[in-house]
Amino acid sequence: MKKIFQEDSKVLITTSHNSTEKAVQVAKKLSFEYGIPYYNRRHLNEKIREENIDFYYVVDNNLNLSIRIGNSRLFFHPGISKIRMENFKREGKDYLLDAIRPSQEDIIYDATFGLGMDAIFMAHFVKKIVGTEVSTHIYRIVSHGLKNYDSKEEWINNAIKKIDLYNEDMKKFISKQPAKAFDIVYCDPMFENPIYKSSSLNPIRPFANYDSIDDDIVEKLLRIARKRVVIKSLEKDRLLDKLSTKFDRIILSRKNGLIFACIDLDVDKEDK
């Protein structure tokens, strides 16, 4: 497995080449907020060699934030959400929507937020998304993007406004929530057998949390759900085989092997 970067990694923040004064100001502001050193771009290569820096943040002249690690670049972009919406409008079908069965008043908890590609798409169809992302580095990139991204697609801008993201461990977060706090709970842990051809996800892998889920976590997710819990996995992974949970629906995408395992709760019975 490739090196997984932890919170104590050697990291700094800089700007792109020929930076504007505004970009420098933002980089210095984030340097203070993150507690990591800022360095002028002209001195970056020297500093990386001297201190064996693992990776570094970059604020570009459009004030976007990214992480550079070797030839890889981790940044926020809802591109797959856009493609997904285009496919949905054309075909009238989406496996994730079939799984969550959203309504406009639903509040969804996205337990493993990642880059937020599923969340942005889901947000278009519901009232609100609450997400948790345990990786500090992923959280910084995505939360900055959610605050600053401006899409030509108005539905994306509106969807982003419905998202509240927290840098918190899923297990700790759900333990603090009251019963039935969310209409739908969605959990998408990292796959055991990654789809490496998914170039949009490859940059996230060195920073992601690879903890899986077990029956105990599923029970806790069920406690805070009112309508259903949906777990995303791969057909070739063993996650669902390890769980003793009985799923009401298994939705499989033959095209890419994605599985959405659904537990539907008897809302009508509970509300009586």
Where do you find CATH 3.40.50.150 in the chain?
79-271
- Over residues 222-234, the mean pLDDT reads 96
Where do you find CATH 3.40.50.10480 in the chain?
11-75
Q: What pLDDT does residue 203 have?
A: 79
Say if residue 202's pLDDT is above 80. no
Q: How far is CA 122 from the centre of its chain?
A: 12
Q: How far is CA 33 from the centre of its chain?
A: 21
Q: With bands split at pLDDT 50, 70 and 90, how would you rate the model's confidence at 245?
A: confident
d(CA 182, CA 224): 6
DSSP string, 126-170: SSEEEEE---HHHHHHHHHHHHH---SSHHHHHHHHTEEEE---H
More confident residue, 124 or 268: 124
When the pLDDT of each residue in the chain is averaged and rounded to a whole number, the result is 90
Say if residue 191's pLDDT is above 80. no
Q: What pLDDT does residue 12 have?
A: 95
Per CATH, the homologous superfamily of domain 79-271 is Vaccinia Virus protein VP39 (3.40.50.150)
Q: With bands split at pLDDT 50, 70 and 90, how would you rate the model's confidence at 269?
A: very low
Q: What is the pLDDT of residues 158-178, one digit of tens each?
A: 999 999 999 999 999 999 999
- Over residues 216-233, the mean pLDDT reads 97
**Range name among 30-39, 48-57, 60-69, 220-229 with the lowest pLDDT average:** 48-57
What count of Cα atoms within 13 Å lies in the side-chain half-sphere of residue 268?
A: 0
Spatial CB neighbours of 22, under 8 Å, sequence gap ≥ 6: 61, 63
Strands 55-59 and 11-15: parallel
CATH number of 11-75: 3.40.50.10480
Q: What pLDDT does residue 137 have?
A: 95
Q: With bands split at pLDDT 50, 70 and 90, how would you rate the model's confidence at 24?
A: very high
